[in-house]
Chain A
Amino acid sequence: MSRPASAAPTLPAGRARAAALVLLAALGAAIAGYLTAVHYTGAAALCTGVGGCEQVQASRFAVAAGVPVALWGLGLYLGLLALAAWRAAAGPRTPPLARLALFALALAGALYSAYLTYLELFVIGAICPWCVASAVVITALWALATLDLLGGEPARGSAPTGAEPAVGRPS
């Protein structure tokens, strides 16, 4: 039973993806942290002349279940950062469950971000550049997490973990 020579255990692309995931999650956490601070201090957000920050921040959609949306975002990004750091540290030995969690959390964030963008455009009628930046970051995170999940380390003949359903494959 021979293996192709290209079956290296760690692909450079995998490492680059892991590093990019960490960087993007950190960037997202910084943006959400800033917006959380703006919410609690009542300071005006730096809007770089584009405007709309105050209007979005003052909207009734800025708080969900008594928690500022920015703080929900911060929690999401910190969770993603922890998972991405784990992914980067563990390399090819990252448990599939961790990559699945990274993918699921990023997808949830991207979906929620799409909803918030819809609110900005069609309900609030104002765009907050920081929110757009966060939407771009979470979408990129989700795209990378998807690539990482589907195109990660090759799986040849390894046994599934207990947490995953064992799908029968012809062997």
Chain B
Amino acid sequence: MATSTARRRPRGTSARPTPWSIGLAVAAAVVLAAGLIWLGQRTSEPAAATLADGTARGAPDAPVVIEEWADFQCPACRLFALGPTRQVLDQRIASGQVRLVFHNFAFLGPESETAAAAAACAGEQGRFWEYHDQLYREQAGENRGTFNRATLERFAAAIGLDGQAFAACLDDGQQLAAVREERRQGQAKGINSTPTLFINGQVVRGVPRPDQLAQLIDQAAARAGTEARP
């Protein structure tokens, strides 16, 4: 019986792997996992810094301009900024098709205003979009101390801003006044919820699905192309 089993067994198929081969398998697994982690870290660097221009990013002559009115305490705005639509926007901005312009509509309470002012102060150091991403990443509830003075300064330190200049900017109150003025401008445009988008003037309320956003951009680009032709 045992002899016949040994005879039928194909050469090597039931051999226990050698320590060498197990070691190689472990090394391959570690390399594979490390490679994925490296890829993830490389691509998770905020793309916001590219083509950034104040509170806008994208080519100045892009055929499609998306004006985004948002509040840093609004969860839907967070989803729009960091969720699946981000990938669509990043791709379209990188290709030169879209220019995204951010406007504050800080209407959810005092921490919306302070967060918006802090982002503007980061913008004074040319880092608006990094701070924008940082605020959304840290978002947790409304007016519960998430965006108080200490945390806003901590976020500034986390992205490497000049702490003294940042604090001085917060202290002088000009950005806070500008944030309130921008909210009044938004109200004058009929905005009452966030995010509200204007895609070449076409109003979109709420967060579109990524495929819807891509379609809206394509339609706007097509219209812009038609209008541009003589």
Chain A contacts to B: CB under 8 angstroms: 3, 7, 9, 39-42, 54, 57-61, 63-66, 69, 72, 90, 92-96, 99-101, 103-105, 107-109, 111-112, 115, 124-125, 149-150, 152-161, 164-167
Contact = CB atoms under 8 A, between A and B. Distances in A.
Interface of B: 2, 5-6, 9-22, 24-26, 28-30, 32-33, 36-37, 39-40, 42-46, 75, 78-79, 82-87, 133, 137, 140, 207, 209-211
3 tightest A-B CB contacts, nearest first: A64-B40, A107-B29, A111-B33
Nearest to A69: B40
A50 to B, nearest CB: 15
Given A58-B78, A107-B26, A115-B33, A42 B43 contact: no
A44 to B, nearest CB: 9
B110 to A, nearest CB: 23
- Tell me whether chain B's interface is mostly helix, strand or loop, or mixed: helix
Given A3-B2, A54-B79, A112 B37 contact: yes
A160 B10 CA distance: 11
A112 B32 CA distance: 9
B40 A61 contact: yes
A160 B39 contact: no
A40 B210 contact: yes
A73 B25 CA distance: 19
B4 to A, nearest CB: 10
Contact of A59 (B12, B75, B82, B211): B82
B30 A111 contact: yes
A100 B21 contact: yes
A159 B15 contact: yes
Contacts of A111: 29-30, 33
B14 A108 contact: no
A69 B83 CA distance: 13
Contacts of A124: 137
Nearest to B136: A58
B133 to A, nearest CB: 7
A96 B40 contact: no
A165 B15 contact: no
A133 B20 CA distance: 33
Contacts of A92: 9, 13-14
Given A59-B82, A100-B25, A161 B11 contact: yes
